Structure formats: structure tokens, C-alpha cells
């Protein structure tokens, strides 16, 4: 007879496995988004708004006078720093270091940003006020997408998982460039020059083979402050600082990998969830069916659900057929299609760009959140279902 303790252990094993696997990051983001929506539409909605948007009684930096600004401009610099570390590692020693290996993810990522933008412009109805939101469906949320793959276990081939991760990283590079180029206004050249000097100092530390982390960390904080005051969004400092971190080995360890491994879980389990909770709450009061089906949320959701999969799948198919780059090994076309659908999950970066796109129009930001959450959830469920029931055997097509 099976003991009650053994039965209980057997029953909870799948749940335990879930919370120690890659899936947990995606599940956590879902829980955070749901919690933000619940609180924003509860009797505590006013307190939720005041917590993040109320003026702080004191702040060491005048530009950051509420908690929402501290999260989006300061805390998220850590997220972008980790993104920068991942990008540099991939370019120097990862999948993007080989010209043949980087062809497909770069080609697919470019198509995966261009086609969603085209879908966005088509569905937004030509409203000039909405044009600044074209980049909202441009990037894939790595944690969310990889979390859905984690739920599928071994059903998704390893090369296809790696492809999704690489495309998402290239997406992040594109999103960072978009933020720097298209969401920057009123440049202050003195502060920008100061930022360049600080980056030069960090680069000198690299060339001088400085082995301590602290000079890099202190310089990165100064760089962030200079960028904050320059007119470029402060989080770009995170990416720039990461590029100065040495990749070389030190006592058998890479300083870059040491930093990345030290920050990646803090990033996944603290920084991104706090950002998600502060930004995903949408007050649905007064937003009826007309608001949900307004041009902005439809354009964003359409870009994520339709544009992402259409652009990336078409790029893979064309590249494979003309011999430009091979499709991921061990993968059927149905499995590839399922993964391209998951690329339509745009939670973190999309929410971030939405706040930059419509800083003076709170209603448009709320509508954008509806489109992001709706498009991301549809992409997650649709991609999961396709991959869950896709045949595992590759067939030549």
C-alpha cells in the first residue's frame, strides 16, 4: 500500500519541477501581470496608482520624483545591463560569433521587427497620434517565451530553443537601437559628452586589464547618471556599460560571465517582476468593448500575433529555400511555426516602449497595455498549443 507521504510527493513533483525549471520565469510574469490587473481593478486601485505615480516626499535625484520613474529609469537599467552582457557574450563567444550561424537569427529578427511595424501601421488607421507606437510589437520577451518552452519540456528540439533565444537577443539589440534613435528628444550635449568620457574610462579599465569589479560598477553608476541627464533614455547606459565589461578569462573565470551569472536571477525574479507589476496594471473601468477594439490595442495585438509569426516564419522559409541559411536542425515546419508564434510574446520590452511612446497620453498607454497583454497571451496560448500537438519527427518539406 502506498503511503500518504509518498502519494503526496508524487502528486506535487510536477509542480516542484515547474518552479525549478526555466518555465517558472514565464509563470512568474503571468502571475505578476494578473496581480497587477487585479489590484488596478480592485478597491485598492487608488492606492496602487498613488504608490507608483504619487510624488515622493524626498528623492536624491530630482528627475525621478516618483516610484514609477525610479523603476523604469533606474531599476530597469539593471535589466538592460544584463541584456548587454548577454549580447556581448553571444557576439564574442556565442551563436552570433559565427557569421554562418548568425545569418538566420539576424535575418529572422529584422523581418520580425519590420512586419509587425507594417501590421501596426495598417491597423492603426493612419492616425498620426498613434504613429509613435510602431515599435511596441517589435521585441520578444525572452523570459516569457522561454518559460512557455519550459512548460513543453523535450517536445521542442534543442536547436529550435537556441534559435528562439538567439532571435530574442537580436530583437533586444534592435529594441535598444530603436529606443536610442527614435525615443530620444532634447539632447543635452554636455551630459552626452560626459557620458562618452565615462565610457572611455570604462574602456580604459578594460584595456588596462583591471581585475576588480568595483571600478566598473562605480563608473557604470556615473555613466547612468550622465545618460539620465543627456536626453537619451537612462536605461541605454546599462547596455553601453555592459559592452565595456571584459570578456577575458581571469583565474579561469570571465568577469562578464561572473557578472551575468550573478545578476541574471535577480533580474528575472526581482527587477522584471517589479517592473511588470508597476506597468501591467490596466484600469478597465470605463473601457468597454469599444476601448478594447480601438485602433491602438488592435494594432499592437495584430503586430504581435500576426506580424511576428508572419515575418519570422517567412524569413526562415525563404532563407532555407534559397540556401541563405539552414532552418534549425531536428525541427519540423510545424514546430518552427509554433516557435515563431511564441516570438509574439512582447511583455517586458513592449510595456517599456509603450511608456516611452505616449508619455503625455495616459489613456493611450493604458490602451497599449491592453494590446500588449492581449497579444502576448494569445501568442503564448497559440504557440503552446501548436508545439504541444506538433509531430516530433522532422519531415522534408
| pLDDT (0 to 100) of residue 225 | 97
67-72 mean pLDDT: 96
Asked if the model's pLDDT at residue 6 lies above 50, the reply is no
Asked if the model's pLDDT at residue 218 lies above 60, the reply is yes
CATH number at residue 151: 1.20.1530.10
DSSP line for 118-173: HHHHHHTTT-GGGGGGTTTTS---HHHHHHHHHHHGGGS-HHHHHHHHHHHHHHHH
Stronger pLDDT, 70 or 171, i.e. the higher one: 70
Stronger pLDDT, 353 or 249, i.e. the higher one: 353
Asked if the model's pLDDT at residue 89 lies above 70, the reply is yes
- Measured at the CA of 74, the angle between CA 73 and CA 77, to 5 degrees, comes to 90
Rounded to 10 degrees, what is the CA torsion of 159, 162, 167, 172? 180
42-71 mean pLDDT: 95
The secondary structure of residue 22, as a DSSP letter, is T
The secondary structure of residue 75, as a DSSP letter, is I
Domain membership flag for residue 19: no
| pLDDT (0 to 100) of residue 21 | 47
Domain membership flag for residue 60: no
Q: How far is CA 258 from the centre of its chain?
A: 22
The tens digit of pLDDT for each residue in 196-211 reads: 999 999 999 999 988 8
Domain membership flag for residue 37: no
Domain membership flag for residue 326: yes
Q: What is the CA radius of gyration of the chain?
A: 22
The tens digit of pLDDT for each residue in 123-140 reads: 998 889 999 999 999 989
> 14 falls in which pLDDT band (50, 70, 90)?
very low
271-295 mean pLDDT: 85
Contact between 330 and 280 (Cβ < 8 Å):
no
| pLDDT (0 to 100) of residue 9 | 44
Contact between 353 and 183 (Cβ < 8 Å):
yes
Q: How far apart are CA 208 and CA 210, in angstroms?
A: 6
185-193 mean pLDDT: 90
The helix or strand, by DSSP H or E, that contains position 254, with its residue range, turns out to be strand 253-254
Task: Indicate the average pLDDT of the chain.
Answer: 88
Q: How far apart are CA 25 and CA 287, in angstroms?
A: 30
Domain membership flag for residue 14: no
Domain count, the chain: 1
Domain membership flag for residue 207: no
Q: How far apart are CA 394 and CA 346, in angstroms?
A: 29
Domain membership flag for residue 79: yes
Q: How far apart are CA 205 and CA 322, in angstroms?
A: 45
Domain membership flag for residue 314: yes
Asked if the model's pLDDT at residue 172 lies above 90, the reply is no
| Exposure string for 344-380, b = 16+ CB within 10 A, e = fewer | bbbbbbbbbbbbbbbeeeeebbbbbbbbbbbbbbbbb
C-alpha neighbours within 13 Å on the C-beta side of residue 361: 14
Stronger pLDDT, 283 or 250, i.e. the higher one: 283
C-alpha cell at 363: 489613456
Show the domain range for 113: 66-184+233-389
| pLDDT (0 to 100) of residue 207 | 92
C-alpha neighbours within 13 Å on the C-beta side of residue 152: 26
Amino acid at each position: 500500500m502506498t503511503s500518504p507521504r509518498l502519494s503526496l510527493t508524487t502528486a506535487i513533483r510536477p509542480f516542484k519541477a515547474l518552479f525549478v525549471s526555466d518555465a517558472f520565469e514565464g509563470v512568474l510574469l503571468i502571475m505578476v501581470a494578473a496581480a497587477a490587473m487585479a489590484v488596478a481593478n480592485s478597491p485598492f486601485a487608488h492606492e496602487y496608482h498613488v504608490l507608483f505615480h504619487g510624488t515622493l516626499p524626498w528623492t536624491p535625484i530630482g528627475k525621478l520624483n516618483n516610484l514609477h520613474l525610479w523603476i523604469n529609469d533606474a531599476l530597469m537599467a539593471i535589466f538592460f545591463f544584463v541584456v548587454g552582457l548577454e549580447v556581448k557574450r553571444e557576439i564574442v563567444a556565442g551563436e552570433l560569433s559565427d557569421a554562418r550561424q548568425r545569418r538566420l537569427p539576424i535575418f529572422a529578427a529584422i523581418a520580425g521587427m519590420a512586419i509587425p511595424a507594417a501590421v501596426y501601421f495598417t491597423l492603426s488607421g493612419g492616425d498620426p497620434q498613434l504613429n509613435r507606437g510602431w515599435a511596441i510589437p517589435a521585441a520578444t520577451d525572452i523570459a516569457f517565451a522561454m518559460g512557455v518552452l519550459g512548460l513543453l519540456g523535450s517536445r521542442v528540439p534543442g536547436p529550435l530553443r537556441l534559435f528562439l533565444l538567439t532571435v530574442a537577443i537580436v530583437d533586444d539589440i534592435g529594441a535598444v537601437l530603436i529606443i536610442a534613435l527614435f525615443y530620444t528628444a532634447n539632447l543635452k550635449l554636455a551630459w552626452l559628452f560626459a557620458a562618452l568620457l565615462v565610457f572611455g574610462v570604462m574602456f580604459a579599465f578594460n584595456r588596462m586589464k583591471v581585475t576588480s569589479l568595483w571600478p566598473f560598477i562605480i563608473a557604470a553608476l556615473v555613466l547612468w547618471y550622465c545618460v539620465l541627464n543627456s536626453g537619451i533614455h537612462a536605461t541605454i547606459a546599462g547596455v553601453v556599460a555592459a559592452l565595456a565589461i571584459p570578456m577575458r578569462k581571469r583565474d579561469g573565470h570571465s568577469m562578464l560571465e561572473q557578472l551575468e551569472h550573478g545578476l541574471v536571477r535577480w533580474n528575472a525574479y526581482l527587477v522584471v517582476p517589479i517592473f511588470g507589476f508597476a506597468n501591467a496594471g490596466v484600469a478597465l473601468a470605463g473601457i468597454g468593448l469599444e476601448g478594447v477594439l480601438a485602433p491602438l490595442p488592435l494594432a499592437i495585438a495584430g503586430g504581435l500575433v500576426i506580424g511576428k509569426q508572419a515575418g519570422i516564419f517567412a524569413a526562415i522559409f525563404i532563407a532555407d529555400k534559397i540556401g541563405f541559411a539552414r532552418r534549425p536542425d531536428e525541427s519540423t515546419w510545424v514546430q518552427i511555426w509554433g516557435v515563431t508564434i511564441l516570438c509574439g510574446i512582447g511583455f517586458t520590452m513592449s510595456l517599456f516602449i509603450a511608456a516611452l511612446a505616449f508619455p503625455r497620453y495616459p489613456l493611450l498607454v493604458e490602451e497599449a497595455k491592453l494590446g500588449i497583454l492581449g497579444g502576448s497571451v494569445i501568442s503564448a496560448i497559440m504557440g503552446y498549443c501548436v508545439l504541444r500537438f506538433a509531430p516530433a519527427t522532422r519531415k522534408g518539406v
